[in-house]
Amino acid sequence: QVAGMVDFFMVLMLPGGGDELQGIKKGILELADALVINKADGESENLAKQSKSHYTSAMSLLRHTSFWTPRVMTCSALKSRNIDAVWGMVLDYYFQAVEEKSFTAKRAHQNLDWMRQLVQEMVLLRLKQNPAVNRLLPQLEQQVEHNETTAYAAARRIMELL
C-alpha cells in the first residue's frame, strides 16, 4: 500500500545479510523505483558492491514502467558519499514522470484509490455502529460457521440493514 501513496518508491537496504532474495519473495523489488544500498563504506564497501550486483541482476528481470527503469545505487550516509547522486536520481525520475505525463496520472490514480479506500472504511464503520447489525452479526457468523447459510447470503442480510 505504501508504494501507492508516494510519488517515488525508494527501498533502502543494508549490504549483504542475505536479504537480496528475500526482497524478491516479498515483492518489494517489483514496486521499487530505486534501490539504494547504504553503509557502502569501510569493511562493508565490498559487500555493498556485491549486493548492488545481485540487486541489479534481480531488477533486470522485473517489468518496469514505460519511462523509467529502476536503478540500484550504493551510498554512505556516514561518509556523505553518493548522497547527491541519490537525490539526482530522484529528480531524474520526477522530471521524466512530468515529461511523460505520468506524474499527474499517478496522482489522479492515487486519489481514486484513496477515495475508494475511504468509502470502504466509512461503510465498515457505519456497519459497526449499526445496532441492528451488531445484534444480527453474531447469529449470522454462527450460521456461516456451521454451514447453515452461505457467506454471500449472510453478507446480503447485513447489507440490507444499511
Q: Yes or no: say if 26 and 116 are a contact pair by the CB < 8 Å rule.
A: no
Domain with CATH 3.40.50.300 in the chain: 2-102
CA distance 24 to 4: 18
CA distance 114 to 129: 22
Q: Order the strands of the 71-74 sheet from edge to edge.
A: 10-13, 34-37, 71-74
Domain 107-160 has CATH 1.10.287: yes
Q: What pLDDT was estimated at residue 28?
A: 82
Q: Yes or no: say if 29 and 17 are a contact pair by the CB < 8 Å rule.
A: no
> In one letter, which amino acid is 42?
G
Q: What pLDDT was estimated at residue 31?
A: 87
Spatial CA neighbour of 141 closest among 129, 132, 154, 130: 154
Q: Which positions of the chain have pLDDT values less than 70?
A: 1, 17-26
> What is the bridge-based pairing of β-strands 10-13 and 34-37?
parallel
Determine the topology of domain 2-102 in CATH: Rossmann fold (3.40.50)
Domain with CATH 1.10.287 in the chain: 107-160
Cell of 93: 525520475
CA distance 90 to 95: 9
DSSP state of 157: H
Element (H, E) at 135: helix 131-145
